[in-house]
Structure 1
Amino acid sequence: MHDYLKHLNLSEGAIAVIINLIAALVILVVGLWAAKRVTNFAGRAMGRASFDPTLIGFLRNLIYGALIAMIIVAVLTKAGVPFAPMAAALGAASLAIGLSLQGSLSNLAWGVLLILFRPFRVGDFIHAGGIDGTVESINLMHTVLVLPDNREAVVPNAKIGGDAIINFNRRGTRRFELRVGIGYQDDIGKAMALVEALFQADERILKEPAPGVYTEALADSSVNLLLRAFTNTGDFWATQTDLLRRVKECFDAEGITIPFPQRELRLVQGQLPESKEAAR
């Protein structure tokens, strides 16, 4: 190659530049090919190791980005670009970009933390950023939640990471609470025994921790009972709504009233005070 270029009557300096450019092009092509191969191999290895799918995608992108950066530096260096000015220019550009994209970088940083520490996973029902929803996807910049009414919410990761995160699925079980009022004239012991029997009859209600029914308050119009029980997360809504209906049906059958708010008015008859004119 060198003798062929000299045959074209090129100077030594021009020959060196051309050779460096060709070498830089070779490094670029081979480097891009190798980066894809290494990234795909790492992704398959993490998949065999049962890594979380979201974490696999993040690490693959991180590895590929790092390899591309190394390839670009190698290509520019081989092409004859001085490293010190290039590093200074990259540093200044990074600073300017960082100042202009503070919000986006905050989302990116929280995205990395959410993916690494995984306070929730795809499919979990969570409360985050003031929103309740099921996690559909976790990206570096935002998290997609599907709300109970099937609306979609795209929540910035900085908003999620900067507030409390409540994961309703992580423990596998949930406790529900129901409040039922009975009349003051009703037998409170009988009412509580009926509720306990309903607990035992429903297989979805967990026996450990044990469910319970308690006297919560002596209200204006009723004696309020508090019902607490644990279920598996998937049975949470159906179990408590079914139990509430069965409590109503059982109380009706046993003659236990569920009173509505009421007031007792008393009229007191008496002589009205005479006016000053009548007194005269």
Structure 2
Amino acid sequence: MDQQATDFVVATRAALAQLSALAVQYSFSVVGALLLLIIGWLAAGMLSRWAHEGLGRIRGFDATLAQFFANIIRYAILIIVVVMVLGQFGVQTASILAALGAVGLAIGLALQGTLQNIAAGIMLLVLRPLRVGEYIETPSVSGTVQDIGLFATELKTYDGLYRLTPNSLLWNVPVTNHSRLPTRMHDLKLHIADQDAIERSMQMLLDMANSDERVLKQPAPVAFVTDLTDAGAVISLRYWANTGVWWAVSRDMTKRAKEAFHAAGITVRTT
């Protein structure tokens, strides 16, 4: 009985000594891990802010893209810190990196469409084929750009509807930007029934264009015969106007041409 008590005391002392040694050993690991977490957290925040501010100073660099890269830097540092902390407790970092790679691959496969939209969003923000306030047209969508995000772009259609378009639909497709260039040309074509009135009709169109202050003097407006038919002739008036007033000018010129030709007794129809 005394021997059993003695063995129990000896085993208890050995266990306590081993626990004490482990506590001393891992206390340094815990302290080091806490220090790594604190320093890493602060460093990630500081570097993220510096990156955001530095990219924001670059002329023309999009604020959304600057925030995106700043977040990438922050999370990359935090991941490195977590791997270092786990290494403090004897975890094999190679296994951690392999696991992170497998998780990243699985997430990438699951979010393939989302990642495609992010990549397209980055390209749209870097190359800027469209900007907020511009009217664009693609084979699938059209409207005025309201906001460009990393996943989707917000558009407002001509009839006042809200349209959220995935960025992948705006990338790798032809994009017609109606607002980017400062001037636009309008080619007004009219079909007149009387071929004898060709010269008079062209002069009337030129006078009408030159009398409108919104029509640019350079390049100068020109009128010419586009085609001759058995029913008459097709004449064109080609002029340039500032993009901001192009739509209003083109509608006004079409209306004025019809009214002027009707008053002059020239039968005309738009083609």
TM-score normalised by length of structure 1? 0.79
Which deviates more, 179-188 or 230-239? 179-188
Equivalent position of 1:90 in the other structure: 100
Q: Provide closer, same or farther for how the CA distance between residues 249 and 91 of structure 1 changes in structure 2, counting only shifts above 3 A.
A: same
Identify the match of residue 146 of structure 2 among 111, 123, 136. Answer: 136
Q: After the TM superposition, which parts of structure 1 deviate over 6 Å for at least 4 consecutive aligned residues?
A: none
1:19 and 2:19 aligned: no
Is there any run of 5+ residues in structure 1 with no aligned partner, and where? 1-7, 262-280
Equivalent position of 1:174 in the other structure: 184
Equivalent position of 1:28 in the other structure: 37
| 1-structure distance, mates of 2:157, 2:147 | 13
Counterparts of 1:49-88 in structure 2, within 5 Å, are 49-50=58-59, 51-88=61-98
Identify the match of residue 255 of structure 2 among 232, 245, 254. Answer: 245
Is there any run of 5+ residues in structure 2 with no aligned partner, and where? 1-15
Identify the match of residue 149 of structure 1 among 152, 159, 164. Answer: 159
Post-superposition CA distance 1:196-252 (Å, at most 9, x none): 112212222223333322222334644222222222221121110111122123223
Q: Provide closer, same or farther for how the CA distance between residues 65 and 198 of structure 1 changes in structure 2, counting only shifts above 3 A.
A: farther
Post-superposition CA distance 1:126-170 (Å, at most 9, x none): 123521111222222222221111212222222221311222222
Q: Provide closer, same or farther for how the CA distance between residues 108 and 259 of structure 1 changes in structure 2, counting only shifts above 3 A.
A: closer
Higher helix share: 2
Q: Residue 146 of structure 2 aligns to a residue in which SS?
A: strand
| 2-structure distance, mates of 1:37, 1:195 | 65
Equivalent position of 2:10 in the other structure: none
Aligned residues: 254
Identify the match of residue 201 of structure 1 among 200, 211, 220. Answer: 211
Letter in 2 for 1:39: S
TM-score normalised by length of structure 2? 0.81
| 2-structure distance, mates of 1:175, 1:111 | 31
Q: Provide closer, same or farther for how the CA distance between residues 61 and 196 of structure 1 changes in structure 2, counting only shifts above 3 A.
A: farther
Please report how far the alpha carbon of residue 84 of structure 1 lies from its aligned counterpart in structure 2 after TM superposition.
Answer: 0.4
| 2-structure distance, mates of 1:260, 1:206 | 23
Q: Residue 130 of structure 1 aligns to a residue in which SS?
A: coil
CA RMSD of aligned residues (A): 2.6
Please report how far the alpha carbon of residue 73 of structure 1 lies from its aligned counterpart in structure 2 after TM superposition.
Answer: 3.0
1:187 and 2:197 aligned: yes
Q: Residue 187 of structure 1 aligns to a residue in which SS?
A: helix
Please report how far the alpha carbon of residue 86 of structure 1 lies from its aligned counterpart in structure 2 after TM superposition.
Answer: 0.3
